[in-house]
Amino acid sequence: KAGVTQTPRYLIKTRGQQVTLSCSPISGHRSVSWYQQTPGQGLQFLFEYFSETQRNKGNFPGRFSGRQFSNSRSEMNVSTLELGDSALYLCASSFLAGGPNEQFFGPGTRLTVL
Amino acid sequence: AQSVAQPEDQVNVAEGNPLTVKCTYSVSGNPYLFWYVQYPNRGLQFLLKYITGDNLVKGSYGFEAEFNKSQTSFHLKKPSALVSDSALYFCAVRDMNRDDKIIFGKGTRLHILP
């Protein structure tokens, strides 16, 4: 079974631009979550989707948004990029949402904002 | 609000010695607890989880974790460390009763010294 895939793996953008990251979950998984990983803050939860609906949202500004498609693939978008948005963005999928379900992580997209 | 703390940024252990990576949590209800590991240049991998029942949970790669409700802790342990165990370890918690978003600790970097 193929794992979680994320595209692109690396991105370089400049301040003020916007970016879209893509995540394909493991086949059959209906829940997708997004995280921001930075050396200082660790793993911070962005949002979680299940069956095309946002279940939970972390404490990030409205510049961060996401969506999930009917095939469970998910995208996240960051508008008006700031230097502080430079981070590794991780996507994780699970068969069901919440509860005791462990998550399976993708390799991440490394975003650098110049 | 739920939270999780990993009090040590880094832990150094000699190869062959037992290792412990500490985690404490705070939830209003009963917790689901998880440990994940991130090897260099690789995504996070699930190690083990506590749902209910036996306080000692066994996971991948010879790791185990002990749930202690009175101390609200879920420390990760291994009887004999390997150099290949060197990685970044994350503890995570989700409130069972609220089915809220999962919260990750900031991570503990484990160095196994040959």
For B92, which residue in chain A has the nearest alpha carbon? A43
| Chain A residue numbers touching B104 (CB-CB < 8 A) | 35, 42-45
Q: What is the pLDDT of residues B89-113, one digit of tens each?
A: 999 999 877 767 889 999 999 999 9
| pLDDT at B16 > cutoff 80 | yes
A56 contacts in chain B (CB < 8 Å): 100-101
Query: Measured between CB atoms, which of A56, A99, A105 is closest to B32?
Result: A99
**Which pLDDT does position B99 carry in this prediction?**
61
**What DSSP character marks residue A99?**
T
Give the pLDDT confidence of B66-80 residue by residue, as tens digits. Answer: 999 999 999 999 999
What average pLDDT score do residues B15-27 get? 96
Smallest Cα–Cα separation from B107: which of B89, B94, B81?
Answer: B89
Cβ neighbors of A2 (< 8 A, separation 6 or more) are: A26, A27
pLDDT at A46: 95
Q: How far apart are CA A110 and CA B4, in angstroms?
A: 25
Using an 8 Å CB-CB cutoff, list chain A residues near B105.
Answer: 42
Per-residue confidence at A107, pLDDT binned at 50, 70, 90? very high
B34-84: per-residue pLDDT in tens?
999 999 877 899 999 999 888 999 999 999 999 999 999 999 999 999 999
Which of A93-107, B16-30, B66-80, B89-103 has the weakest average pLDDT? B89-103
